[in-house]
A and B are shown apart, each in its own frame.
Chain A
Amino acid sequence: GQNIDQPTEMTATEGAIVQINCTYQTSGFNGLFWYQQHAGEAPTFLSYNVLDGLEEKGRFSSFLSRSKGYSYLLLKELQMKDSASYLCAVRDVGTGGFKTIFGAGTRLFVKA
């Protein structure tokens, strides 16, 4: 089956760096995604990794290790507006085609 684990909550200080970890188990891995979701809003896309390594996009970076079933999202120079839930998702390809499986999300609180 599929399983995605990420911490429930994290707190960090404005201007700091925070790393949100995600571990996954899936039989037909076809990419890992990170989405940001502010309270009461729809998720918005942050990053996609399908090969091992680090993808950097501005203040956000995402890392993937397929052999370890592990990813992290790194947020630099934290701002108050970064307070949100961060969803790790894995695309699984099986006999039924494509499925995108989301973790429960990590609620990040950025404090002044």
Chain B
Amino acid sequence: GAGVSQSPSNKVTEKGKDVELRCDPISGHTALYWYRQSLGQGLEFLIYFQGNSAPDKSGLPSDRFSAERTGGSVSTLTIQRTQQEDSAVYLCASSLDLAGAGSYEQYFGPGTRLTVT
């Protein structure tokens, strides 16, 4: 079947605008993860979902960031009042489970490259 998809692939926005990033995980995957990767840097963990629930939101950089997941499938990451430091590639991943053998491999989407001007 299809892999993880993300949209848009690229987003250029003006400072202060809100943006919404979308992730479609692999069908049947209960765990979903959001990461941020700045140029030449490693992945910064933002948040994960088990089903529709996000037990820990402490990885979100500020209260301008929020995420939700509905129907145990699609997730959206919303950034309000964007700042230039929000510019990065936002990666979404999913895994079959959150724990156990089904959690070992996270399948990543192609990412959304966000540029805040």
Contacts and interface: CB of A to CB of B under 8 A. Distances in A.
Interface residues of A, number: 21
Interface in A85-112: 87, 89, 91, 96-105
A48 interface: yes
Q: Decide if the interface of chain A is mainly helix, strand, loop or mixed.
A: strand
A98 B31 CA distance: 10
Given A42-B91, A104-B41, A105-B42, A99 B56 contact: yes
Contacts of B103: 91, 98
Residues of B contacting A: mostly:
loop
A103 B107 CA distance: 18
A72 interface: no
Interface in A26-49: 31, 33, 41-45, 48
Contact of B108 (A31, A44, A98, A99): A44
